Amino acid sequence: MRNKMKKTGEFIQKKCQADDYVLRISRNKKLHTRFAQNAITQHIDGENLQIKLKVAFDNKTGSASVNQTDDDSLKKLINTAEAMAKINKPDPEFVSSEKEHNLIELEEPAAATTELKVKKIVNDIKNCIENAKKKEAKLSGISQKKINEVYLKTKNGFEGYDESATFSHSMTIKKENVETKVSRSVRDYTNFSMQEMIDKLNEQFYSLQEPRKMDKGRISVIMRPLAFLSWLYYLMWTFRMREADEGLNPYTDQIGKQFFGKAFTLCSTTSDSQLSTPRFYGNGIPAKNIDWIKNGVIKNMQTSRYYAREKGIEPAGIYNFLVEGGDSKEEEMMQKVERGIILNNLWYIRPVDMKSGEWTGLTRDGVLYFEDGKVRNSVYNFRWNEILHDVTKRILALGPALPVEHNAKIPTVLFDNFNFVDVTTF
Amino acid sequence: MNYVELALDTAKSLGADYADIRIQKAQTERIILRNLSLKDTSLNELYGYGIRVFKNGAWGFAHSNVFSKDAVVDTVKKAYSIAEESQRLPHGDGLKLAHERGYIDTYKTDFEIDPFTVPLSEKVGMMLEVNRTLMNYEAIQQAIFMLECRKDEKKFGSTLGSRLDITTVYLEPMFQATAVTKEDSQSRTFTEGGKATGWEYINSLDLKSKAEKVAEEAIMKVNADTLGEEKRRDLILDPIHMSLTMHESVGHPTELDRVLGWEADFAGISFATPEKLGKFQYGSEIVNFMANNTLEGGLATAGYDDDGVPNQKWYIVKNGVLNEYGTTRSTAPIIGKKMSRGCNRATNYYDFPINRIPNLYLEPGKEKLTPQELISNTKDAVYIEGRGSFSIDQHRVNFQFGGDMFWEIKNGKKVRPLKKVLYKSNNPEFWGSVDAICDERFFRTMGITNCGKGQPGQRGRMTHGGATARFRNIRVGGSQ
């Protein structure tokens, strides 16, 4: 496919009359096997293609995309994008396309992932369902195999190709009022063990009993990696330099300052073999190591190409998550505080107030109460309202960073004084 | 080449019990303007087909963007082959499909001016004018305008004999102003969501005067007081705000796939289980939720769903009692229903159709009542306009909502604007607390174009609506 993409690139280069252009071709081949209530409910096999062209005449831009590769479709693509640009109004924030870059070399996608067959996936799901049936429980989830290719070419000389493959599996077991979930994604299927997933699910399942209602209020929380990762997704969503400078988010005038807790360090890295890394992202920004927050100090924020030019810095976007871990085990965390809550996952996180950085959300997939170093019982779910960055100032302990998704290594973390503002009815 | 016949003949020859094909061309024009800078001006086209094969009670689905005899046949074979794999883990003795017959029909959204014929320069010019109006106010630091126009042309054929030609169009304008002070930033938004209509809708909106109101209220809001401690108060909610509340707390819980646990691993399940049908008091007696996929301008209005089932109108909640669900041909028989309500919809050709919320609205009150009269008759409340923060648990019981603009009501009068207001409630407390709904003169709709559901995720579309209503004794307070 790489050669076909290159050929399309040559066609565009030859035919496009615009002063500038960015061509992005992405192809995704996917197999999704979705199951619920111990049966397969959805089974999808197919391939998607998008050929997107953004052109500019001076600083007037237009873009179009198609998913057909014949010459007529490509000509239509060029004509549409160029016609839009010609009649468009000038964009005062226009930035010309990227020049040639030296990109990092990456390994080919793992054959164990790309060659994974539907029969094997269904066999594995069958084993998972058998495990649930032994407990008279219902299992729901999805197994997904994805192969992605991206080709990017610009008028100013950038040309890049990237190929990746991932396998992911998630499953939720439910029996009466006990429900819990595990999920994992990997680049190389040889690093994935369905038996480990089943064992982890069983461990979580057996740790939960009929939940009891507990009062809302502030209490210590052990947030397991999946929960902490969903927290980080939302934290980083608003972690943008331009919005900070314009007074729209909590980070105004905070770059270089100790704004997060000292125990909190987050980066994106090309140097960790367990983490997926693209060769480039956006419209041709080469992937390189980026410190976002180091020992609580803001080092970089996400910055668009336009705003980076205005500030005289390099553009930056988050492409994977590595949170520096510690050496605390969960049992040790439980000893550090008198009482607290263990969270497997968070749910429906939404902003409450962008400027202060306050967000809301709920707990999900099993909540445990501990006291005097021991788990006592399951409890009902809670709603929390918290200022995301503020919570990092209340980190009491961190576990080792674990690869929970193909693009994230995250530790378990112990937070003090977590703000639960409501208790749900289950 | 007639790919519809080819696909269906191939599926039948392989031994499919049922098959359908959806050939779909989707065009989306998107323009995003921020502070007079065009962040996106694009016209995107997706063209391809999805083929479903049903065999021995199990589904297989495959899709392709390659239009050739070989590609269509291969895609049918792929769908058939994975349907066979699905049969290894069947739902009970295998899914049954609700009874349906074939239809030969066409459907087209009713519009005067095709939005795709309006020149880009006119669209951008109109958006820049609104953007400039917003930015004329010194305190407005960020002005955003997003416009999306979409056209779907769909050919649907099934082994039941259906041959449907469906063209739907919608457009969605949305703009927002953010006012900034040294201490705070607050936004105010104009949106009615998407509407299945033509460009004449934009021409009818008088966006410039709406922009002035939005900018002025954003400034008013950033300088407003907060509410303080949470306590029980009355709420008056406008229809745009209520559209989101009903979407989350009535629409999703009454999707039958969710009720059956098919979304348990991702979007969650539902408290509104089948034994509650006809018994569960979902709301007060004046609460009637109508599902109506024939609603003019409704985003789920398309003549037929992606099972080939005709659009219908029915009560989800009647006189406050849970009455029925939104169903599909696969889900309806599981609870003993012979026919589907026609709620199976896919977003793009490569998406497998899933059980979706229909157009769903709160019926207006039967007695004459204006929003002003409702406020005049209320002693201590918060009046909320527009959509803000929203979050609900995975069983669809407990929720917290914010809003876009807040006003304190004291002794029948709007006394001051407020900011950062939140309310918490649950089902059935919330809809059970409704004691007044304004009449049909004040009915307004709000079209949702980004309802995320399914794995892989899809952006569903449907329209909600209502007239301003009062909710008694709800937990309302300020954020931190």
Residues B263 and B187 placed together within one structural domain of the fold: no
Residue B480 has pLDDT above 80, yes or no: no
Per-residue pLDDT band for B21 (boundaries 50, 70, 90) equals very high
Disruptive mutation site among A26, A41, A126 for chain B (greatest number of B CBs within 10 Å): A41
Give the count of domains, chain B.
Answer: 2
* Pairwise CA distance, residues A331 & A343, whole Å: 14
Question: What helix, strand, coil percent values describe chain B, rounded to 5?
Answer: 25, 40, 35
Pairing of strands A39-57, B58-64: parallel
pLDDT at B208 over 90: yes
- CB pairs A-B closer than 8 Å: 243
Amino acid identity for residue B394 in this structure: Q
Count each helix (H run) and each strand (E run) in chain A, helices first.
10, 21
| Same-domain pairing of B176 and B142 | yes
Third-level CATH fold of A2-129+145-168: PmbA/TldD fold (3.30.2290)
Rounded Cα gap, residues B424 and B477, in angstroms: 9
Residues of B in contact with A80 (CB under 8 A): 43
Q: Which helix (H) or strand (E) holds A369?
A: strand A358-371
> Quick check: B117 contacting A, CB < 8 Å?
no
Question: pLDDT value at position B478?
Answer: 87
Across the interface, whether the CB atoms of A172 and B264 are under 8 A apart is answered yes
Report residue B292 as tokens: 């109506």
Range of the domain at B99: 3-223
pTM beyond 0.95, yes or no: yes
- Minimum-distance CB partner of A84 among B41, B83, B184: B41
- The confidence score (pLDDT) of residue B71 equals 98
Nearest by CB to residue B422, choosing from A142, A352, A381, is A352
Q: Which residues of A touch B395 (CB under 8 A)?
A: 424, 426
Nearest CB partner across the interface for A364, out of B90, B128, B394: B394
Domain boundary among B223, B239, B269: B223
Asked whether residue B148 falls in the same domain as residue B249, the answer is no
Backbone angles phi, psi at B334, to 5 degrees: -65, -30
**A36: nearest CA partner in chain B:** B262
Which of A45, A48, A171 is nearest residue B62 as measured by Cβ atoms? Answer: A45
> What CATH number is attached to the domain comprising B41?
3.30.2290.10
CA–CA distance from B63 to each of A377, B24, B37, B46 (Å)?
47, 11, 38, 12
Q: Would you call B89 and A38 a contact, using CB atoms and an 8 Å cutoff?
A: yes
Q: B87 burial class (0-12, 13-18, 19+ CB within 10 angstroms)? A: middle
Question: Using the 8-state DSSP alphabet, how is residue A252 labeled?
Answer: T
Residue A1: the pLDDT is: 73
What residue spans define the domains of chain A?
A: 2-129+145-168, 211-426
Write out the two tokens for B200. 């004449």
- In angstroms, what separates the C-alpha of B204 from chain A's closest C-alpha? 24
Task: Report the alpha-carbon distance of residue A182 to residue A198 in Å, rounded.
Answer: 9
pLDDT of A2: 87
The two structure tokens encoding residue A118: 């539907």
Q: Cβ distance B147 to B5 under 8 Å?
A: no
Rounded to the nearest angstrom, the minimum Cα separation between A242 and chain B is 11
Residues whose CB falls within 8 Å of the CB of residue A303, separated by 6 or more in sequence, listed in order = A240, A241, A242, A311, A313, A314, A315, A316
Q: Give the Cα separation of B6 and A312 in Å (integer).
A: 59
What is the separation of C-alpha B290 from the centre of its chain, rounded to a whole number of angstroms?
14
Query: Residue ranges of chain A with pLDDT lower than 50?
Result: none
In whole angstroms, how far apart are CA B114 and each of A70, A79, B108?
Answer: 28, 21, 12
pLDDT digits (tens, 9 = 90+) for B1-12: 899 999 999 999
Query: Percent of chain B having pLDDT more than 90?
Result: 99
Tell me which residue in A63, A362, A421 faces B393 most closely, judged by beta carbons.
Answer: A362
Cβ B394–A44 below 8 Å, yes or no? no
- Residues from chain A that touch B247, judged by Cβ atoms under 8 A, are none
List beta partners, residue A407.
none
B271 and B187 co-located in one domain: no
Q: Which of B205, B223, B241 is the last residue of a domain?
A: B223
What one-character-per-residue DSSP string does B162-223 give?
A: -EEEEEEEEEEEEEEEEEE-SS-EEEEEEE-B-BSS-THHHHTS-HHHHHHHHHHHHHHHHT
Same domain, B172 and B245: no
Contact B302, B311 (CB under 8 A): yes
Q: Which residues lie across from B151 on neighbouring strands?
A: B27, B169
CA distance B394 to chain A (A): 8
Stretch B345-367: mean pLDDT, rounded? 98
Per residue in B424-437, pLDDT tens?
Answer: 999 999 999 999 99
List CB contacts (< 8 A) between A247 and chain B.
141, 180, 182, 185
Q: Do both B204 and B245 map to the same domain?
A: no
Q: How far apart are CA A260 and CA A238, in angstroms?
A: 15
- Inter-chain contact B264–A36, Cβ cutoff 8 Å? yes
Q: Is B71 part of the contact surface with chain A (CB cutoff 8 Å)?
A: no
Distance CA A42, CA B459 (A): 17
Torsion of CA B410, B415, B420, B425, to 10 degrees: 20
Among residues B175, B201, B223, the one where a domain terminates is B223
Residue range B229-258: mean pLDDT, rounded: 98
